[in-house]
Structure formats: C-alpha cells, structure tokens
Amino acid sequence: MWPRRQELQTRLPDNVSDEVGAIIEPLAVAVHACRRASVELGSSVLICGAGPIGLLCLLTAKAMGATNILVTDIKENRLKTAKNIGAHHTLLVDDSDPKILAKKIKDVMGCMPPITLECSGTQSAITTGIYATRSSGVIMLVGVGSPQVTLPLVHAGMREIDIRGVYRYIHCYPAAIAMIANGLIDVKPLITHRFKFEEFQKAFDMFHTGEDGAIKCMISCD
C-alpha cells in the first residue's frame, strides 16, 4: 500500500536494509524531540528512560553533537545497552525522592543539564527531570504515560523551565534516513530479537515484558 501523494513517499537508500528501515519511524520521533529541544554541539542532555525511544534519543543527541549525556532507568540491563551505544553516564534510579535523584544527576554529570528528554512517561521521572534541569532549560515530554500527573509546576515556572511536548514528528523522515545512510547512527544494536510471522504473539509478549533484554523485536513476513 502506497500513499497517493508523491511527497508522502520516502524511498530507502540502497545501503539501508528493510530491517533497519523499520526503525525509521521511532527514530523520527527522536529526531523531532532533539530538534525541539535544540540539541547542538556541546550540549549536556539528561535522558530519563532507556526504552527504545530513550535509546534512539541517545543516538540522535550524540549524532547532533551532545557531549555530556546521562541516561537513567530502573533496569540495569537497559543501562548497559545505553552505555554500549554511547551514553557518557548512566544512573540506576529507584523510588527515591525526586530531589535526591536530581542531586545525584547533577553530581554525575557535573552540571544541571539545560536539556532533559523525558522518555518514560512516568510522573516520578517527569518530576525528577524538572528538579534536575537547569534554570531556563527545557524538559521535553517524549514518553507517553498517564493522561494526568501531579507536577511541581510552580517550581518549574519560578525557574523558567520550559516544558514542551512532541507529537510524533514532522518533516523528520528525511533527516532520520540520512543519519542512518551516512553512518551517523547505527540502530542495529537495538534489534535484539527476530521472529517468524507465525511467532508474532511471542514477539509482542517479549517486547511488552522486556524478557531476555528485548528492545526491538523484528517479525519477518517472508
């Protein structure tokens, strides 16, 4: 099935496989988030959540020039993956007071980051991100969680922290494809498991639970 309008069609370069091409859509989300957050050369970036989107934000931020990236998560195996693909720092978090976690983040990064990409969608992580972000900084709400959360908005307002959201992406497919085709980003390490079409239920279950370190599960239609 192809879109009728030619401008909505995007052709993959010959050096980008169909399997890698399947990652273009979530990568475009990461590109849009990093663009809206104004990630640039030398940026310090906090990424809350090392799921697929968080890891793609890590790859994108690094490709865009960020030189001080800390990734947080509640699972050690995800942080190992983050470290393996280029995170400068990782931090295993728990249900501690968000202010205490924010101080740990500052100690590890050596600064309060001007940019936070919140990729978990949880109230605790968003709150931690607000406390951790530098005054006049920006926190991007990339992850999708509960439609209603309680946040320290007055604290954010008094410190002029911009809270921004992303809705998928816009005009980001060409950039995402170019970053992969030109070797700026390697998404292959995120493809952890492969399944035949008749195993689709097993693939969805593994992705949902994160069993065996699953990040991206590919289903072959051959």
Cβ contacts of 170 within 8 Å, gap of 6 or more: 32
pLDDT digits (tens, 9 = 90+) for 58-117: 999 999 999 999 999 999 999 999 999 999 999 999 988 999 999 999 999 999 999 999
pTM for this prediction: 0.92
How many CB atoms sit inside 10 A of residue 18's CB?
A: 10
Same domain, 102 and 208: no
Same domain, 192 and 129: no
- Give burial (CB, 10 Å; 0-12/13-18/19+) of 150: exposed
Same domain, 32 and 97: yes
Same domain, 67 and 125: yes
Q: Nearest-CA neighbor of 175 among 64, 87, 67, 68? A: 64
Which range (1-5, 68-72, 170-174) has the least confidence? 1-5
pLDDT at position 129, please? 98
Q: Nearest-CA neighbor of 31 among 222, 185, 193? A: 185
Identity of the amino acid at 22: A
Same domain, 26 and 117: yes
pLDDT at position 72, please? 98
Q: Domain of residue 211: give its range.
A: 187-222
Q: Tokens 């052709």: give the residue.
A: 11
Same domain, 217 and 131: no
Same domain, 134 and 216: no
The two tokens of residue 109 are 């990064």
DSSP state of 111: S
Same domain, 132 and 193: no
Which range (4-8, 108-112, 164-168) has the least confidence? 4-8
The two tokens of residue 37 are 């957050």
pLDDT digits (tens, 9 = 90+) for 22-52: 999 999 999 999 999 999 999 999 999 999 9
Q: Give the chain's domain count.
A: 2
Same domain, 146 and 42: yes
Quick check: is 106 in a domain? Answer: yes
Same domain, 128 and 32: yes
CATH code, 136: 3.40.50.720
Q: At what angle do helices 123-132 and 98-109 cross, to 10 degrees?
A: 50
